[in-house]
Amino acid sequence: MTGQALPRAVTPSPSLARRTIADMRPFASCWPDDPGILDTRTAETMRRALVLCACLPALACQGTYELRAYGEAFVEAGIPASEVSDGWSIRFTEFVVSVGEVSIDGRERRELPGWYVFDLAQPSDGRGRLLDGIEASFGDYDTLRYRFAEPGEIVGGNATSSQIAHLVDNDAALHVVGTATKGDRTIAFDWTFKISFGHLCRISGRVNRNQHGGTQLTIHADHLLLDDLGPNGVIAFDLIAAADVDEDGLVVPAELAQVNILTEERYQTEGRDIRDLWTFIGNLSLTLGHVDGEGGCDPSYTPEAYQKLSRATADTAQGPALYAAHCAECHGEHGAGDGPLAAEMRPRPTNLAMLDHAAISDAYLFFRIAEGGGFFPYTSTMPGFRQQLTDAEIWALVDYVYVLEHGQH
């Protein structure tokens, strides 16, 4: 072979290879395999690709994180009598839920705007109902947040206009309709839940070139019928059926609210001040949300809008007068929950002097003062003050609650 030079071997540059691999770590999922030891030419090529990922993420290093809402077979096909401790079989004709404030965290935080209203009782062949996918950069995602609440701007879902109107008209997040049958007796139920309750869930999600991530928002309908707020509950319906005192075959919340569970040994409240069956079921509704089947979620109480609220300048000198005018009759002069109206209230007003402010954010206190407690998990008679007080006045009350905690009133 004469007159033709052999191609010159490319000498590996260990320092460039190491530096390139280090630079790539945040984007490792852009490539299917571990790059190993790179020669100079390959390292430079991949370095240019990294620039492309950084400058054009939508084209180079983004994929779709898919989210689905699924009510499991118990919602779509019903709960068989073999799964119910007292032998009732349960079928849901409507299981309408409003889901919003959805986001994933990890490689970055990405949000899914708007609200979705689904009737999960409608068959989905086990696939659940698709929320819009979140466009996310390649990488790992370990946290999912979502909220059940009255719908805001609705962008998707399979619920009918009348189902949506029912939630909106009742400031509700969940509407459950169905029947329970035992022998020749059938009891219908129609329950609407005012819930504002968030979920913070641990996930193992990944988006890369070869793999679109995804998580299922799993809704456990059977939790509404458990007899224990702790981990040992079983599905039961006898006491619910007994609430049909007018014998019209339909059990509604007003009838459930008349059932005293303090005399029912099997109904365990985990030490909470819950006295009636409707409040008990309402608290069970807060346990519906999971991820990927049985994946657990922690409560995330404060709505997104309040978490993002800018703190207005508060005139702290207004705090005592505002508290005396709007709060003292229930919470008491010194915040101990012993105001003149407190004795007849269920649940009793919170002892503000005993709040653990290390665990409670300013945003949460603002939210509770603004919106009150007329929804689960609070179910109190506390009114909301958003229409009566300015943001600055509410912030003044927030500051005064801290004064009560430290006994400086």
Q: How does pLDDT run across 361-384, given as a tens digit for each residue? A: 889 899 999 989 877 667 678 999
The pLDDT of residue 299? 80
Q: For 200, which DSSP code?
A: E
Same domain, 108 and 252: yes
Residue at 2 is within a domain? no
The pLDDT of residue 169? 97
Residue at 78 is within a domain? yes
The pLDDT of residue 255? 97
Q: Give the structural domain span for 272.
A: 63-300
**Boundary residue ending a domain (278, 300, 322):** 300
Cis peptide before 377 (omega within 30 of 0): yes
Q: State the CATH number of the domain containing residue 327.
A: 1.10.760.10
The pLDDT of residue 20? 43
Residue at 371 is within a domain? yes
Same domain, 345 and 286: no
Amino acid at position 162, single letter: S
Per-residue pLDDT of 202-225, as tens digits, reads 898 888 876 667 899 999 999 999
Q: In 87-237, where does DSSP find H-type helix?
A: 161-169
- Nearest-angstrom CA–CA distance, 109 and 89: 43
Q: What is the pLDDT of the chain when averaged over all its residues?
A: 84
Same domain, 168 and 188: yes
Same domain, 262 and 396: no
Residue at 9 is within a domain? no
Largest CA distance in the chain: 107
The pLDDT of residue 308? 80
Same domain, 315 and 278: no
Same domain, 70 and 51: no
The pLDDT of residue 29? 43
Assess contact for 107 and 141: CB atoms under 8 A.
Answer: yes
Same domain, 129 and 268: yes
The pLDDT of residue 286? 87
Same domain, 137 and 34: no
Same domain, 294 and 311: no
Q: How many CB atoms lie within 10 A of CB 254?
A: 9
Residue at 4 is within a domain? no
Q: In 10-99, where does DSSP find H-type helix?
A: 14-24, 40-55, 57-60, 72-76
The pLDDT of residue 385? 94
Residue at 142 is within a domain? yes
**Boundary residue ending a domain (300, 326, 344):** 300
- Helix (H) or strand (E) holding 240, with range, is helix 238-242
- Nearest-angstrom CA–CA distance, 332 and 323: 10
Pairing mode, strands 154-156 and 110-119: parallel
Same domain, 280 and 380: no
Is the pTM above the cut of 0.85?
no
Same domain, 288 and 319: no
Per-residue pLDDT of 258-310, as tens digits, reads 999 999 999 999 888 788 999 999 999 988 999 998 887 888 778 878 888 88
What does the pLDDT profile of the chain (409 residues) look like in tens digits? 444 443 444 444 444 444 444 444 444 444 444 444 445 555 555 555 555 554 454 445 888 899 999 998 999 999 999 999 999 999 999 999 999 999 999 989 999 999 999 999 999 988 899 998 888 888 899 989 999 999 999 999 999 999 999 999 999 999 999 999 999 999 999 999 998 888 989 898 888 876 667 899 999 999 999 999 988 899 999 999 999 999 999 999 999 999 999 999 999 998 887 889 999 999 999 889 999 988 878 887 788 788 888 887 777 789 999 999 999 999 999 999 999 998 888 778 888 888 877 778 889 899 999 989 877 667 678 999 999 999 999 999 999 998 887 665 5
Pairing mode, strands 214-219 and 62-70: parallel
- Nearest-angstrom CA–CA distance, 84 and 79: 8
Residue at 1 is within a domain? no
Per the structure, how many domains does the chain have? Answer: 3
Q: List the strands of the sheet with 214-219, edge to edge.
A: 129-137, 62-70, 214-219, 289-291
Same domain, 52 and 192: no
